[in-house]
Amino acid sequence: MALNLWESKVLQLIAAGLLLFYVWMDVALYYQVQAMPVSNGKGSAASSSSSPFAHVTMKALLLDHTTHYVHNPLAVWFNEATNFAEVFTWITANMVSFSHVVVAVVGMKLLWSDSLSTRQLGVLLFEVRSFLDAFDGTLARARAHSSLEEPGIGSSGHLIDGACDALGCTAMFFGCLGILRRKPPPHYSALPGPGGKEARETLAQSNRRALTLVGCAALQMTLSSLFWNRTLSEYHDLLEIPGSTYSTRVIQNTVFKSSALWITVWFWRLTNPHAMMEMILISIFLDKLWVCLQRQFDSYLLTRTALSTPVSFLVKLR
């Protein structure tokens, strides 16, 4: 039986509680950032805590809410509870990355179902995929005896993880296309005609529309991913590599706590690839995929703001 948010009080309470949890955590994160001292120039020590506030990094700030506050802490807790990194030494982080591609493919097949409850199960599998995506990084850091969220851009692990993420997103979009092709848009009506000609033309138009919407969403996510990695790299080099002088480190600390940076970070928390995937998965769960993709241009404005703000901000800083 499919779960209906509009009819289930339990689901409504869970959704409201999760939203309040994210807002509360963001407020706590803001105060945590404001309390950060000036760097001593030697870098920060890693913490073994699973708390998202244990060590605030630029990468953590740019993550979406679900990854930062749910998947990452769960991944750290799971590793500590099972001692996974030490017990299963033959399982590498790259193997975990490959495994979440398999999970995504299975989830894609479930999304093709005509049953909403089966599609909702597919959404849950994609959430498992996101957890495994967080866990591969946790496992790699545990093996390296570090809990710091470093960008790692250009490393082999980063490239493999990125490729697996791309395959997982591709599987999700193929799943979306299957849903849209099987389920006509709202207010869809096929006019009767000889030999069903009008119906076939309307169906063909609906399929073209579905392909366009999915293609635009995929392009938007691709651009967001590319610029998210660029923004992360730029901010990491500018703010997280300790300056050679104390005055430089004071400036870095001031910028890190600035409202301008926080606004930029918050835009990215709403429009990064993980956040976009979560929004699409939520719309599938609620059986509102057509509505979500048709309104993608609203989120495109947020993406444009997130893409343009860091560029001008970085130019001024430099």
Per residue in 98-149, pLDDT tens? 999 999 999 999 999 999 999 999 999 999 999 999 999 899 888 887 655 5
pLDDT of 238 above 90: no
pLDDT band at 240 (very low <50, low <70, confident <90, very high): confident
Collapsed DSSP state (helix, strand, coil) of residue 149: coil
| Model confidence pLDDT, tens digit, residues 164-199 | 999 999 999 999 999 998 887 766 555 555 555 666
pLDDT of 41 above 90: no
pLDDT of 315 above 60: no
- Which is higher by pLDDT, 56 or 18? 18
Q: Give the pLDDT confidence score for residue 311 in this predicted structure.
A: 47
pLDDT band at 5 (very low <50, low <70, confident <90, very high): confident
Q: Give the pLDDT confidence score for residue 47 in this predicted structure.
A: 54
- Which is higher by pLDDT, 232 or 174? 174
Cα–Cα distance measured from residue 39 to residue 250, given in angstroms and rounded to the nearest whole number? 8
